[in-house]
């Protein structure tokens, strides 16, 4: 045991946005012991089924180990030269906006930082987007509208301290299991703590719920407008907080005025008695947190949903205090880190704004770059539409599988087939997307790479290597930096991930970025050993000379920052006047009733397109095959028996899976998991069925509500 302890490496789980600390112990027989890190403040030793099976998914059988061009193995120099010269030629002939990067919330912050710097500061385009657009974009947009910044105000401990936790659009038990476990444990100690789940399905999360509201798809705006109105009617607003720290309350309330109980019941499909129970509970419970995830974000009204929720917390002053606040929980391990470096097409670095000339000057001056993107680039769905239209001549996809995960996924495959030049850097050799690559670049995987991720409560944690790099695999940041240098750019001479992180931290500091919510200037200058030792750290981490008004106190002990931080209890918002904005929101206009509302999401034991979790027999045993969950009434009407094959179809495409007939589903709705790829189940790609409708503000696709048909196959 002593030997095992000596070789134990502290790292962070590569799956969901909870960001659990993991102790990995490589053993002499080649296996790796995995345990939860008892010292990590996200999980205190807990792991879910996916995290605890990490040791079973580290085999090299499926790995991409060498660069290839046109399917033929080549050396790195040849591959990197081909990428650099082809991108250069496209830019020279068609301009900087003729090229694009499509990245991933799986990448580490250092990877994201270098790719974003190359595209925005040196190529001069903002055509860099990521699968985080499918995950978080509506929360980002809603936060920026309300707070003037993309800030998650609270911490995980707020969820334990709350007397009411509202979970909306979140199957936390399966998608963020350790946070679910923390809430369940808190409720076991304090049974008076109430849990409300708002979801069209009665999911596993409902096991700890006191109240489940089986909401109709996209009924959330009406639901929270009704709550705002109810709070005012009951005199439950915090007039001092609203008066001193916000603007726009009257307009938001006017927009909510028509949402009386009967109107909300009609719009949401929820019984009036259940609505009243929820509204009364929220009204009388000061310590309330509202958690929202993909059911809110993946919607054509996702940004309005986020603001409808935030409005209720602003109106009651329940924000940034222990046990209170709106709480967006991220799907991916590093969606938050990607946002920090500005790795989305409408962001700049360090939470600066691409639309703001002063911000652009700051970033360009810091990078010493020849140019800076001056306008937002293409968002994920638009990006692949531009590829299909022939406007993108060279595309680099890193660490993601859009031919499965994007909506209208067959169209994405056709777009890639027609694109003149596609580079894919990945850890897996054969995915639905690598099939379209002209150049394949082998990337380092979890356990091999070094860097940081940021979880849903703004906590930056280290991923540390404990395995050698296999074959010729390289870290993503190093691959992007190599191509940048070959394109003739200076400023990419990094020797390590720690050097990239240091630059990122310096850029975010008050001196370089001005007053921001995201400021980790206090983590600059840690040096190689400080970076190696860095403990999980919540931002902001401000240095000595800081904005005295907005900077909350933060401990600094030689690179270890342990104090929890919250935002906005005393105002201090990041709009120019320091006030939050209420947003007057209107529910989406009702459309013709869909034949079926097709909803997609995760199952407990798989991650994304199963390239890793699919390797574990134990994980695959939980749900061995894809399914369509539909209500017994619908099944009876359509002559579908349990386990029959059913075809789910839309105007975009079709998928064939087995029927799971339950009473946990809303009639008229069908749920199909997103994970199965052509490799695991040839006809089960639900992304091929999903429509490409998106939120007009955030550009996030509405993956939860495609209209389509279900029939026995
Ligand atoms: Fe990993 Fe998320 Fe499970 Fe934690 S809850 S072990 S981060 S998958």
Is residue 18 in contact with ligand 1, taking CB distance under 6 Å? yes
- Separation of CA 21 and ligand 1 centre (Å): 9
Higher local confidence (pLDDT), 620 or 582? 582
Atom of ligand 1 nearest to the CA of 48: 3
Query: What does the pLDDT look like over 134-148, one tens digit per residue?
Result: 988 999 999 999 999
Residue in 11, 12, 21, 50 to alter for ligand 1 test, most ligand atoms within 8 A of Cβ: 50
Architecture of the domain defined by 2-57: Single Sheet (2.20)
pLDDT (average), residues 527-553: 69
Q: How far apart are CA 563 and CA 539, in angstroms?
A: 10
> Does residue 364 sit in helix, strand or coil?
helix
pLDDT digits (tens, 9 = 90+) for 171-181: 999 999 999 99
How many Cα neighbours within 13 Å face the side chain of 619? 24
Residue 550 has what pLDDT?
34
Whether cis (ω within 30° of 0) applies to the bond prior to 540 is yes
Asked whether 34 lines ligand 1 (CB < 6 A), one says no
Long-range contacts (CB closer than 8 Å, 24 or more residues apart) made by 31-34: 31/55, 32/58, 32/447, 32/466, 32/467, 33/4
Distance 41 CA to ligand 1 centre (A): 13
Rounded CA separation 467/454 (Å): 22
Residue 425 CA to ligand 1 centre (angstroms): 24
Which segment of 123-127, 174-178, 441-445, 602-606 scores lowest on mean pLDDT?
Answer: 602-606
Nearest CA owner, ligand 1 atom 3:
48
Extents of the domains making up the chain: 2-57, 80-135+334-497, 138-328, 596-712
Percent of the chain residues past pLDDT 90, beyond the cut: 79
Q: What is the mean pLDDT of residues 83-107?
A: 97
Does 36 contact ligand 1 (Cβ within 6 A)? no
What average pLDDT does this structure show over 560-581? 85
Share of the chain above pLDDT 70, in %: 96
Q: Mutation test of ligand 1: which of 14, 18, 46, 622 has the most ligand atoms closer than 8 Å to its C-beta? A: 18
Q: How many whole angstroms from 50 Cα to the centroid of ligand 1?
A: 7
Ligand 1 contact via 446 beta carbon (within 6 Å): no
Contacts of 543 (CB under 8 A, 6+ apart): 509, 510, 521, 522, 524
pLDDT digits (tens, 9 = 90+) for 433-469: 999 999 999 999 999 999 999 999 999 999 999 999 9
Interval between CA 504 and ligand 1 midpoint (Å): 26
Q: What is the pLDDT of residue 253?
A: 97
Ligand 1 pocket test, candidate residues 11, 14, 16, 172, most atoms within 8 A of CB: 16
Q: Which alpha helices (DSSP H) does 562-682 contain, by range? A: 617-620, 632-638
Ligand 1 mean position to 173 CA, how many Å?
Answer: 11
How far, CA to CA in Å, does 533 sit from each of 323, 498, 518?
A: 31, 11, 22
Mutate to test the pocket of ligand 1, among 178, 180, 333, 454 (most ligand atoms within 8 A of CB): 178
Q: Give the per-residue pLDDT at 681.
A: 77
In terms of pLDDT, which residue wins out, 225 or 608?
225
Distance 58 CA to ligand 1 centre (A): 16
Task: Tell how far the Cα of 385 is from the centroid of ligand 1, in angstroms.
Answer: 33
Q: How far is the CA of 403 from the centre of ligand 1 (A)?
A: 25
Q: What is the CATH number of domain 138-328?
A: 3.40.228.10
Looking at the predicted structure, is the pLDDT value of residue 493 above 60? Answer: yes
Q: How far is the CA of 612 from the centre of ligand 1 (A)?
A: 14
Average of per-residue pLDDT across 114-131: 97
Say how many Å lie between the CA of residue 330 and the centre of ligand 1.
12
pLDDT at 200 > cutoff 70: yes
Query: Which residues 6+ apart lie within 8 Å of 226 measured at CB?
Result: 256, 259, 260, 261, 263, 264, 275, 279
* Contacts with 544 (C-beta within 8 Å, 6 or more apart), sequence order: none
Taking the C-alpha atoms of residue 101 and residue 383, their distance in angstroms, rounded to an integer, is 9
Nearest residue (CA) to ligand 1, atom 2: 16
Number of H helices, E strands in the chain: 26, 26
Alpha carbon dihedral 129, 131, 133, 137, in 10-degree steps, equals: -120
For 323, the token pair is 């046990």
Contact 684 CB / ligand 1 (< 6 Å): no
User: Is the pLDDT score of 624 beyond 90?
Assistant: no
Beta strand spans in 355-487 (E) = 394-398, 422-426, 439-442, 451-454, 459-463
Say what the ipTM of the complex is.
1.00
621 Cα to the center of ligand 1, angstroms: 18
- 286 CA to middle of ligand 1, Å? 30
Do 670 and 710 form a contact (C-beta atoms < 8 A)?
yes
Answer whether residue 683 shows pLDDT above 90: no
Closest atom of ligand 1 to CA, residue 16: 2
Q: What is the pLDDT of residue 547?
A: 36
pLDDT mean across residues, the chain: 92
Which of 47, 105, 330 is the best mutation target for the ligand 1 pocket, counting ligand atoms within 8 Å of the beta carbon and taking the most? 47
Distances (CA, A) of 643 to 293, 598, 660, 687: 30, 18, 6, 21
Question: Which residue, by CA, sits nearest to atom 6 of ligand 1?
Answer: 51
CA–centroid distance, residue 181 to ligand 1 (Å): 11
CB contact at 8 A, 513 and 506? no
| Closest listed residue to residue 476, CA positions, set 64, 60, 164 | 64
DSSP symbols for 158-200: HHHH-SEEEEES--HHHHSHHHHHHHHHHHHH-TT-EEEEE-S
Question: Which residue among 156, 175, 176, 329 has the greatest number of ligand 1 atoms within 8 angstroms of its CB, and so is best to mutate?
Answer: 176
Instruction: Specify the pLDDT at position 49.
Output: 94
Tokens 């105000």 correspond to what residue?
153
Tell me the CATH number for domain 80-135+334-497. 3.40.50.740
Residue 337 Cα to ligand 1 middle (Å): 17
Q: Whose CA is nearest to atom 4 of ligand 1?
A: 20
Task: At 335, give phi and psi (nearest 5°).
Answer: -60, -35
> 676-689 burial by CB neighbour count: b if 16+ within 10 A, else e?
bbbbbbeebbbbbb
**Does residue 2 have a pLDDT over 70?**
no
51 lines ligand 1 (CB under 6 A): yes
CB of 82 shorter than 6 A to ligand 1:
no
* Amino acid 685: pLDDT: 86
Q: Which atom of ligand 1 is nearest to the CA of 455?
A: 7
State the distance from the centre of ligand 1 to the C-alpha of 353, rounded, in angstroms: 31
For every residue of 322-347, DSSP letters joined together read: TT-EEEE--SSTTHHHHHHTT-STT-
Structure confidence by residue, pLDDT tens digits, 150-174: 999 999 999 999 999 999 999 999 9
Higher pLDDT, 550 or 109: 109
**Residue to mutate (ligand 1; options 11, 12, 14, 15; most atoms within 8 A of CB):** 15
Q: How confident is the model at residue 563 (pLDDT cuts 50, 70, 90)?
A: low
Predicted pLDDT at 675: 85
In the reported structure, the alpha carbon of residue 458 is separated from the centroid of ligand 1 by a whole-number distance in angstroms of: 16
Ligand 1 pocket, 46 CB below 6 A?
no
The answer, yes or no, to whether any atom of ligand 1 lies below 6 A from the CB of 50, is yes
Rounded to whole angstroms, the Cα distance separating 540 from 555 reads 11
Structurally, at CATH architecture level, domain 596-712 sits in: Beta Barrel (2.40)
Q: Which residues contact residue 517 at a Cβ distance below 8 angstroms, ignoring those fewer than 6 apart?
A: 147, 149, 150, 151, 351, 540, 567, 574
8 A C-beta contact, residue 76 and residue 474: yes
For ligand 1, the distance from its centroid to the CA atom of residue 42, given in whole angstroms, is 10
Helix-, strand-, coil-residue percentages of the chain, each rounded to 5: 35, 15, 45
Q: How many CB atoms lie within 10 A of CB 618?
A: 12
Instruction: Name the DSSP letter for residue 433.
Output: T
Residue 231: phi and psi, rounded to 5, are -60, -40
Ligand 1 midpoint to CA 54 (Å):
10
278 lines ligand 1 (CB under 6 A): no
Quick one: pLDDT at residue 6? 54
Task: Report the atom number in ligand 1 closest to the C-alpha of 12.
Answer: 7
Most distant CA atoms of the chain, gap in Å? 70
**DSSP H or E run through 81:** helix 76-94
CA–CA separation, 587 vs 308, rounded Å? 10
**What atom of ligand 1 comes closest to residue 36's alpha carbon?**
6
């Amino acid at each position: 045991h002593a030997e095992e302890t000596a070789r134990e490496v502290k790292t962070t789980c590569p799956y969901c946005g909870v960001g659990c600390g993991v102790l990995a112990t490589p053993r002499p027989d080649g296996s790796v012991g995995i345990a939860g890190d008892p010292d990590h403040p996200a999980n205190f030793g807990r792991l879910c089924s996916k995290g605890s099976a990490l040791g079973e998914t580290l085999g090299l059988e499926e790995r991409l180990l060498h660069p290839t061009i046109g399917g033929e193995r080549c050396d790195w120099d040849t591959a990197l030269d081909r990428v650099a010269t082809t991108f250069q030629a496209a830019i020279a002939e068609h301009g900087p906006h003729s090229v694009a990067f499509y990245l991933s919330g799986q990448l580490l912050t250092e990877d994201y930082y270098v790719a974003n710097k190359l595209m925005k500061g040196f190529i001069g385009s903002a055509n860099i987007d990521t699968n985080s657009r499918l995950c978080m974009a509506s929360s980002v947009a809603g936060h920026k509208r309300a707070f003037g910044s993309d800030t998650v105000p609270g911490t995980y401990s707020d969820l334990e301290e709350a007397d009411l936790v509202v979970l909306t659009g979140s199957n936390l038990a399966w998608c963020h299991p350790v946070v679910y476990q923390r809430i369940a444990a808190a409720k076991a100690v304090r049974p008076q703590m109430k849990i409300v789940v708002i979801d069209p399905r009665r999911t596993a999360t409902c096991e700890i719920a006191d109240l489940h509201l089986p909401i109709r798809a996209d009924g959330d705006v009406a639901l929270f407008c009704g709550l705002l109105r109810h709070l005012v009617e009951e005199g439950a607003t915090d007039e001092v907080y609203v008066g001193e720290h916000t603007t726009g309350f009257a307009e938001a309330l006017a927009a909510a005025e028509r949402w009386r109980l009967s109107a909300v019941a009609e719009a949401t499909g929820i019984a009036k008695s259940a609505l009243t129970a929820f509204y009364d509970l929220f009204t009388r419970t000061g310590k309330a947190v509202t958690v929202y995830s993909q059911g809110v974000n993946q919607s054509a009204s996702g940004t309005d949903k986020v603001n409808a929720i935030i409005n209720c917390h602003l109106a009651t002053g329940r924000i940034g205090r222990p046990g209170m606040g709106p709480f967006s929980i991220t799907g991916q391990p590093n969606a938050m880190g990607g946002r920090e470096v500005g790795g989305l097409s409408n962001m700049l670095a360090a939470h600066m704004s691409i639309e703001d000339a002063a911000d652009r000057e700051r970033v360009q001056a810091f990078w010493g770059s020849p140019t800076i993107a001056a306008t937002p680039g293409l968002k994920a769905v638009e990006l692949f539409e531009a590829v299909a239209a022939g406007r993108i001549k060279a595309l680099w996809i890193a660490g993601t599988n859009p031919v499965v995960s994007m909506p209208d996924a067959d169209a994405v495959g056709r777009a890639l087939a027609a694109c003149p030049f596609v580079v894919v850097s990945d850890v897996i050799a054969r995915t639905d997307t690598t099939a379209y690559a002209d150049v394949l670049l082998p990337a380092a995987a979890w356990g091999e790479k070094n860097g940081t991720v940021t979880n849903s409560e703004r906590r930056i944690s280290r991923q540390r290597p404990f395995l050698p790099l296999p074959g010729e695999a390289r870290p993503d940041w190093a691959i992007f930096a190599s191509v940048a240098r070959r394109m003739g750019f200076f400023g990419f001479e990094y020797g390590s991930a720690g050097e990239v992180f240091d630059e990122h931290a310096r850029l975010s500091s008050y001196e370089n970025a001005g007053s921001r919510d995201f400021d980790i200037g206090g983590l600059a200058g840690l040096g190689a050993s400080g970076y190696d030792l860095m403990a999980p750290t919540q931002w902001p981490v401000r240095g000595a000379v800081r904005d005295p008004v907005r900077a909350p106190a933060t401990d600094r002990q030689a690179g270890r920052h342990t104090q929890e931080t919250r935002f906005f209890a005393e105002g201090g918002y990041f709009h120019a006047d320091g006030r939050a904005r209420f947003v007057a929101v209107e529910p989406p206009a009702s459309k013709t009733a869909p034949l079926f509302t097709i909803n997609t999401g995760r199952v407990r034991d798989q991650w994304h397109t199963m390239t890793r979790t699919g390797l574990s027999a134990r994980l695959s045993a939980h749900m061995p095959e894809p399914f369509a969950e539909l209500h017994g009434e619908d099944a009876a009407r359509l002559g579908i028996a349990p386990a029959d094959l059913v075809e789910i179809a839309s105007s975009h495409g079709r998928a064939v899976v087995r029927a799971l007939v339950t009473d946990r589903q809303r009639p008229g709705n069908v749920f199909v998991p997103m994970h199965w790829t052509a490799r695991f189940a040839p006809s089960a790609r639900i992304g091929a069925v999903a429509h490409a409708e998106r939120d007009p503000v955030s550009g996030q696709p509405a993956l939860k509500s495609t209209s389509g048909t279900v029939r026995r196959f």
